[in-house]
Structure formats: structure tokens, C-alpha cells
A and B are shown apart, each in its own frame.
Chain A
Amino acid sequence: MTDFDLDRLGDVWRQQLDPAEMERLQRTAAAVGRRARWAQILDILAGAAASVVVIFLVWTNPHFETFLLGGAAILVLLVSNVRLRKLRQVELRSLTGSTEDMLEQSINRLETTLKYKRFSLIAIGPALVVGFLLAWAAGANPGVLVAPALRLVWRGTTFAVLAGVVVYLVFAIRRERRELQRLRAMRESYRLEGESSAS
């Protein structure tokens, strides 16, 4: 490879895939296509099933409250569907647009996620205080919790869940911070490349 000829390197690069490798690739793609189709079908079916259940409940209990609840449930379904569609469109735009735009969008998205997770981590402290206050208030009223053993299980579960959430958030924040650094470094390399091309 001493002569640097891109045409020849292109020929080396585009060597035909081994037939077995090609077959494996086609199997992978077929599985991906099948999963994507099923996900689409399940999406539609889940929406339809939820709507049917709500309509059935309203139909069998024709009261103002059920109308209200049913309407709210349908609204939530619609809003979440619209939101999901918008998210997919954004994802699609970043896939089919320029790399620099994609990096910019990814950085913005990750910054927002990080802010949200940091806020959640900070909010756990005050939430714990409120939780203890509520538990204390409940403890002052013996009628609320039945047995001390049950109370212990309840507190233990709450503590385990909270500890799990804290650990998850700490690790997620560290991972996403590293990802953000990599994204920024990439954006910087594109920017430098662009600046040196312009000068």
C-alpha cells in the first residue's frame, strides 16, 4: 500500500462480502424489520384497546364523573401519542440531516435530560423530609397503619426504592456527563475543521 491511490483503495474497501456474511446481514435486517413492524402494530393495538376500554366503561356507567374521567383518559392518550410522534420526527430529522445539526440537537437534548436528572437528585432530599413528616403524622395516628411489622416493611421498601433511585441517578448523570463531553468534543472538531477550511 505504498502508492496512495484512492481509486485502488476504494476497490479494496468495496470488496464483496462473503456470501455467508451477506446472508447473516440479511437475517439481521429481516429480524429488525419484523420487530419494527410488530412494535408499530402493538402501538396501534394498545391505543385502540385503551380507547375501547374507556368507551366501554363510559357506555356502561353513563354518569358525569365517568364521562369526565373517560374524556381525560382519551385526552392523555392523544397527547402522549402526539408527543411520541413529535419525538420521532425530531429523531428522524437528526438522522437525515447534517451531522453537525445532529450533534447540536443531541447536545441540547442531553443538557435538558441532565438538568432534569440533577433536579430530581436534589429534590430527593426535600421529598424525604416531607415523606418523614407524613410518616410521623401517620404514626401519631395509630389507626392509619395497622401493625408495627407492616410499618417496618413499608419503611424498608421506601428506603430501598429511594436508595435505588439515588444510585441510578448518580450513575446516569455520570454517564451522560461523559457522553456530553464526547459530543462537545465532536462538535468542536467539526467547528475547527470548518474554521480552518474557511481561513
Chain B
Amino acid sequence: MTGVVDVQQSAVPAAPHRGNGNGPVPPFERIVADYGPLISRIAMSYEADPSLREDLTQQIFLAVWQALPSFRSDSSLKTFIARVAQNRSISFVTKQVRQPRLAELPEKLEADTLNPEESAIEVNERELLLEATRRLPLPQRQVIILVLEGFDYSEIAEMLDIAPNALALRLSRAKAALKSMLEQRQ
């Protein structure tokens, strides 16, 4: 497992949303600052077309805004947002007449700390990864995205509402498919 956990959990600032019971939820602006990149990556992994992706991103933000009052603290906010984002992305994809386009470089992926050469390698690597992820069947894509986002097994199993052994099997298939696609692209 990745071992990367919720690095973006934020402190609770003033004027929070009211959660459904167990304590306040950070305001929307704070959530965007903390989880915007997560939402953006999830949108990228479901939609390659930049204008449609913008549309999808807006729909995810709206869905999060609407769903926020129903958030309960029995799972982390990151888990909640990832679930809403994935569900909205899947329903968005089903509404598209054409199949999702495969190869397109998302704009401005590079980290600003890298030099141009490193940056180009990283962008190329990330582009390949995104492209391969978009080609996975949906059940496998969901698992891989959540693993890459740093969620642990129990969180993923809970989010997808499946047993841990079913998750392990799905993940091993997804890894095999991803590996084969990445190797073909080398």
C-alpha cells in the first residue's frame, strides 16, 4: 500500500458549514484550497477533453457544495470528497455521447520546483500514467485512483462498499492492467 495518508487535512477555520451532527465542517473556500488538487486529479482521470473537464470540475465543486451539509465525521472529509467526486465523474462520463478521449496532455502539470529537464520527464510520466488510468475499466480505475491518492485499504473498501479481499483482487487486476499499459507505452 502507498502509506501516504491524508496530508491535506486542514484546521477548522471560522464560519464553518454545519455538518450533519458531529462537529463543524471547514467552509467551502478552505475545502477548495485543501482538496482542489484532489478534485482536479479525479476530473483529469475521467475526462481528457479540457473543456469538458472544466465542466466536470464545476459539477464536482457544485456536488461537494450541495453534499457538504450531509457530511458526518464517521469518515474523513477527504474520503467524503473523493467519493462525491468519483460518483459525479462516473455519472458525467455516462452522459457523454462519445467515449472519453484517451491521449491528451493536461495543461500545466509540472511542479514549479523542478528544472526543465526533470519537469519534462515528470510531465511525460504523469501524462502516461493519466492516459493509462483513463483506459482502465471503471471498477479498476476507481481503485487505482484511490490508491494513487494515498487512501489506505480500509478507507477504499469502505468508500467502494466492498469486502477487503474483493478489493485486494480488484487492485491486483488493476495493477496488472496498468503495468501492462505503461510497459506498452515505454
Chain A interface residues (CB < 8 Å from chain B):
1-2, 4, 6-7, 9-10, 12-22, 25-26, 28-33, 35-36, 88, 91-92, 94-103, 106, 175, 178-179, 182-183, 186, 189-190, 193-194, 196-198
For the complex, would chain A's binding face be called helix, strand, loop or mixed by DSSP majority? helix
Whether A13 pairs with B126 at a CB distance below 8 angstroms is: yes
Binary A-proximity of B142-161 (CB < 8 A = 1, otherwise 0): 10000111100000000011
Whether B170 pairs with A197 at a CB distance below 8 angstroms is: yes
Distance, CA A17 to CA B169, complexed state (A): 32
Distance, CA A99 to CA B126, complexed state (A): 26
List 5 contacting pairs A-B, 8 Å CB cutoff, sorted by A.
A14-B149, A16-B113, A97-B87, A99-B86, A103-B90
Chain A residues with Cβ below 8 Å from B108 are 17-18, 20-21
Interface size on B, residues (CB 8 A): 70
Q: How far apart are B40's CB and chain A's nearest CB, in angstroms?
A: 6
8 residue pairs, one from A and one from B, having the closest CB atoms:
A98-B161, A197-B166, A18-B108, A29-B32, A13-B148, A193-B139, A32-B61, A25-B36
Chain B residues with Cβ below 8 Å from A2 are 183, 186
A178: nearest chain-B partner, CB-CB: B97
Does B120 touch A at the CB level, under 8 Å? no
Whether B165 pairs with A33 at a CB distance below 8 angstroms is: no
Chain B residues with Cβ below 8 Å from A18 are 108-112
Whether A16 pairs with B111 at a CB distance below 8 angstroms is: yes
B4: nearest chain-A partner, CB-CB: A10
Whether A179 pairs with B94 at a CB distance below 8 angstroms is: yes
A17: nearest chain-B partner, CB-CB: B37
A181: nearest chain-B partner, CB-CB: B94
Does B11 touch A at the CB level, under 8 Å? no
Distance, CA A191 to CA B62, complexed state (A): 29
Whether B129 pairs with A29 at a CB distance below 8 angstroms is: no
Chain B interface residues (CB < 8 Å from chain A):
1-4, 28-29, 32-33, 36-37, 39-41, 54, 57-58, 61-63, 65-67, 70, 80, 83-84, 86-88, 90-91, 93-95, 97, 107-113, 122, 125-126, 128-129, 137-140, 142, 147-150, 160-163, 165-166, 169-170, 175, 178-179, 182-183, 186
Distance, CA A112 to CA B47, complexed state (A): 28
Chain B residues with Cβ below 8 Å from A29 are 28-29, 32, 36, 61
Q: How far apart are A176's CB and chain B's nearest CB, in angstroms?
A: 10
Whether B148 pairs with A194 at a CB distance below 8 angstroms is: no
Q: How far apart are A3's CB and chain B's nearest CB, in angstroms?
A: 10
Distance, CA A181 to CA B138, complexed state (A): 15
Whether B40 pairs with A10 at a CB distance below 8 angstroms is: no
A106: nearest chain-B partner, CB-CB: B91
Whether B70 pairs with A194 at a CB distance below 8 angstroms is: no
Whether B149 pairs with A102 at a CB distance below 8 angstroms is: no
Distance, CA A16 to CA B3, complexed state (A): 18
Distance, CA A165 to CA B2, complexed state (A): 54
Whether A26 pairs with B33 at a CB distance below 8 angstroms is: yes
Q: How far apart are B26's CB and chain A's nearest CB, in angstroms?
A: 13
Distance, CA A161 to CA B28, complexed state (A): 44
Distance, CA A22 to CA B57, complexed state (A): 13
